Amino acid sequence: MADSAIVTAVTGLVRGMKQRREAVGPVVVLAVLAFGVYAFLAIADEVAEGEIRALDRRLFLALRNPADPSDPLGPPWLEEVALEITALGGYTLVLLALTAVVGLLVVTRRHGPALYVVLSVGSGALVSHFLKQYYERPRPDLAAHLDIVHTSSFPSGHALLTTVAYLTLAALVIRFFGDLRVRLYVLFTALVISVAVGITRVYLGVHWPSDVAAGWALGAAWASLTWLLASLLQYRRGSLAKESRHGQGGDGQDGDA
């Protein structure tokens, strides 16, 4: 009896520790969602009131030659590198990458994750489009643009879309790995790409720093929101399936009796 009680207590303790670990993820993602929304709204308010203009100008010029603001800091080849990095956040490359990933998921009959990726990134792109139309902030006029742009400035579509897309893909990848080190590496890689793309938008003279910061914040918040919704639906589906199995089991026992 004593041995049985000890085994039961240890089993309950292990189960409780596992449940607490599983609960950490949603709590962290919820915190990222809340902070991202708050940061975006705070930046948007500063932009609307024009109070961030001086800081934007100072940070923008910090990446350029003091004697010639049209010339970015660094050798000429650095401009080429910036253009190649910024392409990682362009609609064309993101669309190609997502098409390849979604195609693989569909072929392997993982329709749920495929739909999650499409809805997460697609809705993020729509949010970026509508917000640009709403704020209609002019592009920086302190230097020539080193990349072609067709839309308004706030928020940065590259920063927002890159953050949503690569965090969504990271969330998809880490589902297949239980090792915390692997998960952190995948998440870190997604964040590095997002940050690098955002910095190049300022370096190339097509965005104010606040545009990029707002894009990062809202992108992280949107990726967190879609992950939470997908996880909630998955949990609900699992609960319904479990209830259905229990119900069938109960019916079978009644019939045997």
Q: Which residues contact 237 (CB under 8 A, 6 or more apart)?
A: none
First-to-final CA distance of the chain = 31
207 in catalytic set: yes
For residue 68, the cross-strand partners are 65
Q: Which of 111, 129, 150, 158 is catalytic?
A: 158
Contacts 24+ apart (CB under 8 A), 82-86: 82/146, 82/200, 82/203, 82/204, 83/146, 83/147, 83/200, 83/204, 85/196, 85/197, 85/200, 86/147, 86/158, 86/197, 86/200, 86/201, 86/204
Q: How far apart are CA 43 and CA 108, in angstroms?
A: 42
Q: Which of 129, 150, 207, 246 is catalytic?
A: 207
Residue 100, amino acid: A
Contacts 24+ apart (CB under 8 A), 103-112: 112/234
Give the number of other CB atoms < 10 A from CB of residue 69. Answer: 16
Tokens 């969602």 found at:
33
Let me know how long the chain is.
257
DSSP 46: H
Give the number of other CB atoms < 10 A from CB of residue 131. Answer: 21
Give me the active site residues, please. 158, 207
